[in-house]
A and B are shown apart, each in its own frame.
Chain A
């Protein structure tokens, strides 16, 4: 973001720029206007969003330069830097400057003696600073800030009389505690670029000064530092210390290496004009490398290929020249483009093509249909998700979407043991709050809480589902990216009334565990073979004896069961969950639609008989069903009709009413044939499972 007063831009402009045309051009060029704010004197503060690639726009001069492009004016007016100063690598300052770090690209030092820092800062400077919320400190400091806002060049000014010995610019070898000018003590990490004299740190380069060489009203002699520091060291130091200043904000994005000379001259000129003093005309200058302008080759063919345009070389060259590029057309189609030093973002030809595109106007590029043959590849996970989603909507469920995070104590709330595949302890290092600390290893926590949140005096029936990811670690004690895994899971909650009272129904009927199992089975059987649901005890979440694992083709894919009432009570407002709540979740990644063929029914009538079996708890219907089915080829279907516990049935047993259909393709079955089948399965059921008919 960069904020500036409109009047300041106008004051250094030598062309007529209306407020409206300024905003329109900036918007047109993609610089979003974050805010505009009227000031009491009728001026307007304009804040523009400056993306990371355009640090040159973090100054009034930079904005003006951009606006001049719209007016096709080549040379925008800039601050006066007419000051006779000779920069030299020979150090003629009172304190020798020693550059001892590769992170320093430029370092200019100008010495001024005999200034009066008690004078009043001119109004035109304080006016700008006040509008931007920058406090006025003293003329020298105010001028430094003013020049930064106008040119984008950060500077630091040392009180020469507070320095002892040489000024060294070097990276720290270990963490260093430094008291900064804003009154805080900060631990700067090893590698930070620090400026020190023989005794003490005087500045954290490109970031913030220290009180050790602070400018005060008594200051008489100064050294102006205008430098260019490597953006990486400033950025990493700023991120680690959370220290961000106007200077660091610019340095970490990049500052024109060649701006420091002009910046230093402007500062020297303004300070001597306002505070008096004598400038040492022999200034110090360090440069790590000589400046070589970036020269890129751009072809018309490549430009048009990327933009989808039919521009001519001259048109391209003209557009680039408007943006201050020095363009030489080499032949009919290629051109050599010299990049101005302030455009740090221009590194490759694609960057130039973007310049051409924005000046030509994106709106002038005509949309063209894609002419590309790219094979369509069906995504199984997407397909399965949509099939499940549509099925659930058909069953009357509402889809919800919850965060991937759950509270740090969620595993305790859900009673999920550590050896459960639904246990997880992946912690977010920087969570929003402790209630969003864990990555969810199951969908249960969020779905149960969502169900409860929706319960009220008028709503107790909840049918919701979610399709989302769960997260886990292959080895819970190990670290590293490859140790993590995630699964695409389906989760659902079913609770409350299945059939309401009224419309011929005298008593409402609630959902039972058998409904939840039926739903899960129906959903999965459509897409998987050999689906089995077997009681299990080691997953948590469920009431003892009312939880089951779901397998498909022998592989564990999920769980279904009745949520333990104790678990429900641990949830916020869990008391609202008065009815039994059923939960299921399964992984849907590997499901596939099964191709099934139709077998025609016999034209001879079927015989249907019902049997009331007494079954010991723990024996699964799907197992003894197989015994009945295999008893005779005439058994065509075996279906459970009802399950009964209670009076008349011994404890530990249940009475299961089973409906068996017999049929033959070629004839009507004789009673003897059915009785023969009955005899076989009755014997087998008794021998293998101790199942007998209820007397």
Chain B
């Protein structure tokens, strides 16, 4: 029995020398427990004295190796911890976030700012009729200003694709009474051949504020405030006289070039300014057309959106906005 126990000890010792990992130790320990069981079962054939001696030897063996297992387990665990070598700079391709289209992204910035300023959002149809797209905006069929907006027709001359989102304003006024503050973001269509700087569709965000005491100074505030909230408080906004059939007085709105900060660069053709919107006090004829008093006070504005994401994200060509090269969108 004694020899048998010694043999087991030697085997264990030689096996343990080779063990470097928890898995190997587990195998040896399991085998050891099995061997102990066998040794204890062998004792039943021994005499009482031999049983006592063998029992002591087996218990010593058990205690000795259990202690060693424990000790080794701790050491291996310690070793395993310190020896782990994970390159934490490597990320798997999982959990890739998607992207919002740059045009929509800038549009959403604008929507968020106007919502914060108390504006509601109104939508309208993209297929329009002549009445809402032109007539009610003070542009009768013979008006030369229609030349500015070459129109796509589905049925000539009455069914067309809206050439601006101003028709949403008309529809909104026909259904609502002042006071209100709305913006109407959306796509508009004009007959423009697709080339680097032209597309037949583009985005506008139009605004309309109608109510007691609204004036051109409020319009200046609304445009300046919104532009500065989006592009930074250093941004300058200027107004100059302009002409739109549906506003009087009308204004063209320029903001300091976001590429050069107003110093003058290629983008702003050296002027330091970029034309970004048109605006003005709503023309009394428009108010009258929707059933309001001609004395109603309100202003309207319209941002042309296509250029802003181009500048913001340095997109070289306008048509790229609709070509959807997703390797580009992934970068924003």
Interface residues, chain A, with chain B CB atoms under 8 Å away: 27-30, 51-54, 231-232, 235-236, 252-253, 305-309, 348, 350-351, 353-354, 357-358, 362-363, 365-379, 381-382, 386, 389, 392-405, 426-432, 436, 439, 450, 453-454, 459, 462-464, 468-469, 471, 479-481, 484, 486, 499-500, 502-503
Contact = CB atoms under 8 A, between A and B. Distances in A.
Contacts of B242: 30, 51
B40 to A, nearest CB: 38
B48 interface: no
A367 B98 contact: no
B92 interface: yes
A368 B193 contact: no
B163 to A, nearest CB: 13
A311 to B, nearest CB: 12
Q: Is the interface of B mostly helix, strand, loop or mixed?
A: mixed
Contacts of B325: 453-454
Contacts of A29: 240-241
Contacts of B97: 393-394, 396
A393 B144 CA distance: 45
B118 interface: yes
A306 B249 contact: yes
Interface string B214-250: 1111101110110000000000001111110100111
A305 B120 CA distance: 25
Nearest to A505: B92
Contacts of A30: 240-243, 252
A404 B214 contact: no
B217 A368 contact: yes
A91 to B, nearest CB: 31
Given A305-B297, A396-B97, A484 B241 contact: no
A52 B243 contact: yes
**Minimum-distance CB pairs A-B, first 4:** A308-B217, A354-B249, A30-B241, A308-B215
B224 A367 contact: yes
Contacts of B61: none
B108 A386 contact: yes
Contacts of A377: 120
B127 A307 contact: no
B174 interface: no
Contacts of B330: 398
A363 B147 CA distance: 29
Interface string B99-135: 1110110001001000101111111011101000000
Given A235-B144, A370-B209, A439-B154, A400 B101 contact: yes
B150 to A, nearest CB: 9
Contact of B120 (A232, A376, A397, A400): A376
B100 A52 contact: no
B319 to A, nearest CB: 10
A25 to B, nearest CB: 12
A430 B154 CA distance: 8
Given A370-B181, A372-B209, A428-B154, A401 B127 contact: no
A52 B216 contact: no
B92 A503 contact: yes
B159 A366 contact: no
B218 A308 contact: yes
A367 to B, nearest CB: 4
A236 B144 CA distance: 10
Contacts of B125: 484, 486
B44 to A, nearest CB: 42
Given A374-B118, A426-B154, A306 B281 contact: yes
A431 B154 CA distance: 9
Contacts of A453: 323-325
Contacts of A367: 217-218, 220-221, 224-225
28 contacts: A29-B240, A52-B148, A306-B249, A306-B281, A307-B249, A350-B284, A353-B249, A357-B241, A362-B238, A369-B218, A372-B181, A372-B209, A375-B120, A375-B180, A382-B123, A393-B98, A396-B95, A396-B97, A398-B98, A401-B321, A403-B322, A405-B200, A429-B153, A439-B127, A439-B154, A484-B127, A484-B154, A499-B94
Nearest to A351: B248
A402 B127 contact: no
B283 A399 contact: no
B27 interface: no
Contact of A436 (B129, B147, B200, B238): B200
Nearest to B150: A430
Nearest to A484: B127
Contact of B98 (A365, A395, A468): A395
Nearest to A386: B108
Max chain A Cβ within 10 angstroms of own Cβ: one of B96, B98, B104: B98
